[in-house]
Chains A and B, each alone.
Chain A
Amino acid sequence: MTEPILIARDLRKSFNVGGGWFGASDQLHALSSVSFELFPGETLAIVGESGCGKSTLARCLSGLMELTSGSFLVAGRDGRTFIRDDALQFHRAVQIVFQDPYASLNPRRTVSQSIADALRLHRICARGERRARVTDLLLQVGLSGDYLERFPHELSGGQRQRVCIARALAVAPEILVCDEPVSALDVSIQAQIINLLKDLQQRRGIAYVFISHNLALVQQICDRIAVMYLGEIVEMGVAAVMQQTFRHPYSRALFAATPMIGSRKVDQIRNPLAGDVPSPLHPPSGCHFRTRCPFAEARCRDQKPELREVAGRLVRCHFAEEISSNRQSRPRGSLPD
């Protein structure tokens, strides 16, 4: 078996919030104990709702934010020292594509300038070859040479995202972190960008960490899925195994709430999730999901479930074995406060 290109162990990130000059500040745990592996040429999806820590994870992995604790290995080197000692080299291994392509391109630089900047900074090719390289990169993302001298405002959303992808590819990264790369695009354009990412993966063997909130989309395009809730991975496994038979109550609810044309409708869900995601400043004791969980019992409040293997995937739930497709809620027991 091939070696993983990225190994994340017990990643934690917390922010200090509030607190004035003398007041005590609160700790917001955006990531707590996130561990996973990513293999070359593989797509790992990180799915969750806003506030679950998925974008924080993207930023930490791509070196834009420093972890509070934990370690990750990129191509066998410790990520945190890697960034400190040789940031350029690190960024040649890991690149990121953001949700809003307009905000991530400099409005005053043309497409060719933006992409050439990456080549120049990383000293990838001689100055004379740059233009040819940029043209080639644009071609790879499906844009003709006509776009070289255009400014971002002259492009459509889909074209801008293609430019961002071309810029990320300029340094030939081994890992590409995609933070909601298609959420800001129209449906008809989303498929174009997804197909482009897939083609590039096949051609160049890049591994993707694909951050998304759309479980329906992710199921179609990813090899493995990790579902996050309040900074923790609650379920992770191979997409083909997890297909429609999630074991964690949150993954199940998330999947059920995702509108899917041709399947049952929201008001036919037997136990829709009530309420909102609790504040990450004061997450519930025990299992973070218990306040919204239809299966919750006293044990969920007292004892924090560990991530353990059930039915071929990792699940963070005390009752994962009992939760199968034909059970919607526990018949006994009442909801703890």
Chain B
Amino acid sequence: MSALLQVEGLSVQFPTLRGDVAALEDLSFEMREGETVALVGESGSGKSTAALALSRLIPESTGCIISGRVVFEGRNLLGLPLHELREVRGRRIGMIFQDPMMALNPVFTIGWQLAEPLRKHFGLSNRAARDRAVELLGHVAIAAPEQRIDQYPHNLSGGMRQRVMIAMALACRPSLLIADEPTTALDVTVQAQVLSLIKTLKDELGTAVLLITHDLGVVWEIAQRVIVMYAGRKVEEGTAAHVFDDPQHPYARELLRAAAFASGEGGRLPEIPGSVPSPFEIPSGCCFAPRCTSAREICYAALPPLKSTKHGHEAACVLVGAASP
């Protein structure tokens, strides 16, 4: 099966007063149709930058440099003229963001906002778009959609707003849904509802989902494949089952141990010493080396390339191949 999305060597640099900052470096991955891939990492790992760069939502006017290729359904999005890109955004690629209150327009009813992509992309009449919007609201399990549709975002709870966002993103039945921290702002019981909703809709519509998150628990819930990011680079990629079972990169391993909150010796939680390097002071060699317990001299010398490891994984660590033959 051909890939739905191919990202090759995607790099993003932001200009700042202290020089250009590389937020994302040389990210490559593929997504097949209907697949759920999680981009996971801590703050500063470049995961949200990647999500925005994919659909060119990073304002290029401010001098950001984006290089690489993003081939989606056979077309390189980075080279498309804007009017063609608009045909792709919203129609073929849906997006949901962390804070639904910021992503929804407070002065329009949710019905109007929900119907907008239908009118724009499918040329539906106001009446028909509204009927479809009611249907969509019912689809994302909002009770009494006929009444809700004339309400404004501030009338809804956080969980309901995120449902509206999902309905809007999926209104045109896109083949790819980019979900940037979709449940981070929600309570856990509501998070569970939203995650199972995304899962159900994805199966129903066959949409591929690119999930951006810092929460490994959420990754565990819905991802099929996992890409672990650190300081702007991909450090590990593999199927969810294998990454959770047998992570190869030391960072992925430590992160998983930390996220499980299982107490180790003496009731202490396993921790990763130090903190993520500042983007202004990216160390030479492996970015994780200063925090890595098994770092050797070679780790500080050169950037470790991504290597294929067992189970068809990729990991960017010099020790990976050496440790397991």
A contacts, CB < 8 Å to B = 49-50, 156-159, 186-192, 194-195, 198, 213-217, 220-221, 253-254, 256-262, 265-267, 269, 272-274, 276-277
Contacts and interface: CB of A to CB of B under 8 A. Distances in A.
Nearest to B44: A186
Contacts of A49: 187-190
Interface stretch (B9-17, B52-60, B61-69, B250-258): B250-258
* B interface: dominant SS: helix
Contacts, number: 121
A198 B267 contact: yes
B189 A257 contact: yes
Contacts of B188: 49, 213-215, 254, 257-259
Interface string B240-274: 00001000000000111011111100011111110
Contacts of B222: 265
B273 A261 contact: no
Interface stretch (B72-80, B191-199, B307-315): B191-199
B276 interface: yes
Interface of B: 42-43, 157-160, 187-193, 195-196, 199-200, 214-218, 220-222, 244, 254-256, 258-263, 267-273, 275-276
A256 B221 CA distance: 12
A273 B194 CA distance: 11
A191 B13 CA distance: 31
Nearest to B257: A191
Given A187-B216, A187-B259, A259-B192, 6 more contacts: A187-B42, A217-B261, A261-B220, A265-B221, A272-B193, A273-B192
Nearest to A142: B273
Contacts of A158: 275
A273 B189 contact: yes
Contact of B221 (A214, A216, A221, A266): A266
Nearest to B160: A276
A276 B273 contact: no
21 contacts: A159-B275, A187-B214, A188-B42, A188-B271, A194-B269, A213-B187, A216-B261, A217-B261, A259-B191, A259-B215, A259-B220, A260-B217, A261-B256, A261-B260, A265-B220, A265-B222, A266-B196, A266-B199, A272-B193, A273-B193, A276-B159
A329 B187 CA distance: 23
Q: Which 9 A-B pairs have the closest CB atoms?
A: A259-B217, A191-B271, A257-B192, A188-B272, A49-B187, A186-B42, A191-B269, A266-B192, A267-B196
A189 B261 contact: no
Contacts of A258: 188, 217
B221 A191 contact: no
A187 B258 contact: yes
Contacts of B256: 261
Most buried by A among B160, B187, B214, B254: B187
Contacts of B192: 256-257, 259, 266, 269, 272-273
A43 to B, nearest CB: 11
Contacts of B273: 192
B151 to A, nearest CB: 15
Contacts of B43: 157, 186
A156 B215 CA distance: 19
B220 A254 contact: no
B187 A50 contact: yes
A271 to B, nearest CB: 11
B254 A257 contact: no
A267 B269 contact: no
Given A50-B187, A257-B192, A262 B275 contact: no
A259 B218 contact: yes
Contact of A188 (B158, B195, B258, B261): B258
Given A191-B258, A259-B215, A261-B216, A266 B195 contact: yes
B196 to A, nearest CB: 4
Contacts of B42: 186-188
Nearest to A194: B269
Contacts of B157: 276
A328 B261 CA distance: 26
Contacts of A187: 42, 214-216, 255, 258-259
Contacts of B193: 272-274
Contacts of A191: 258, 261, 269-272
A192 B42 CA distance: 15
Contacts of A269: 192
B258 A190 contact: yes
A191 B192 CA distance: 24
A195 B269 contact: yes
Contacts of B159: 276
Given A188-B258, A267-B196, A261 B276 contact: no
Nearest to A155: B275
Contact of A253 (B160, B189, B270, B275): B189
A221 B196 contact: no
Contacts of B259: 187, 261
B187 A198 contact: no
A192 B271 contact: yes
Contacts of B215: 187, 259
B156 to A, nearest CB: 9
Nearest to A266: B192
A261 B216 CA distance: 7
Contacts of A272: 189, 192-193, 196
